[in-house]
Chains A and B, each alone.
Chain A
Amino acid sequence: AQTVTQSQPEMSVQEAETVTLSCTYDTSESDYYLFWYKQPPSRQMILVIRQEAYKQQNATENRFSVNFQKAAKSFSLKISDSQLGDAAMYFCAYHVGGATNKLIFGTGTLLAVQP
């Protein structure tokens, strides 16, 4: 069974600095999708970034980028130039393939941004 592990329950970063959130997963599949979602205190889950396993190039979305290491089954999120609005719970998620639309989530990392 696929699992997703986020080993950092909480992280803190100074405004304008860079922070990296870790995520590892376990799967026997070769083709899959990985996601990072952000859940601010308002609770609306927002998609941050997506990575297709068949792509070697790391995904980037503005200040957000990933370090995808397929062999190591690692999928970390780097936030550059952190802003106060980045404070939220961040979830790493693995998409179970095939016809289903099931996401398996990690336990989340609560990111605090210090002014």
Chain B
Amino acid sequence: KAGVTQTPRYLIKTRGQQVTLSCSPISGHRSVSWYQQTPGQGLQFLFEYFSETQRNKGNFPGRFSGRQFSNSRSEMNVSTLELGDSALYLCASRTTSGTYEQYFGPGTRLTVT
């Protein structure tokens, strides 16, 4: 099976712009989670989607949003970008049965200038 894929891998944006990141889970996986990784805050949970519904959301401002499509692909959007949004954004997927193992994509490196 193909792994989790994320596009784009690298992105440079300017403050105030918005950005959309995409994640395609492993085939058959219906749950997709997003994490932000920064040197200062480490790995932080953003949100999780299952069957096109957001099941849980981390402690991030409303500028961070996401959605999931019927094929389980997910997108996250960040509006009005700030310098502090510069981070590695990781997507993870898992099956809905079993042992809660999450499989991560390679991440999207977002740089805000």
Contacts and interface: CB of A to CB of B under 8 A. Distances in A.
A62 interface: no
Residue from B92, B99, B100 with most neighbouring chain A CB atoms (10 Å): B100
B88 interface: yes
Contacts, number: 57
B99 A50 contact: yes
Interface residues of A, number: 23
B26 interface: no
B88 A52 contact: no
Nearest to B102: A103
Contacts of B106: 42-44
B48 interface: yes
B72 interface: no
A91 B94 CA distance: 18
Q: What 8 pairs between A and B have smallest CB-CB spacing?
A: A45-B104, A105-B43, A100-B56, A95-B100, A101-B48, A33-B100, A102-B45, A44-B106
Interface of B: 31, 33, 35, 42-43, 45, 48, 50, 55-56, 58, 88, 90, 92, 94, 99-107
30 contacts: A35-B101, A37-B104, A42-B106, A43-B106, A43-B107, A44-B107, A45-B104, A47-B102, A91-B43, A95-B100, A99-B50, A100-B56, A101-B31, A101-B33, A101-B48, A101-B50, A101-B56, A101-B100, A102-B33, A102-B48, A102-B58, A103-B33, A103-B43, A103-B45, A103-B92, A103-B102, A104-B45, A105-B42, A106-B42, A108-B42
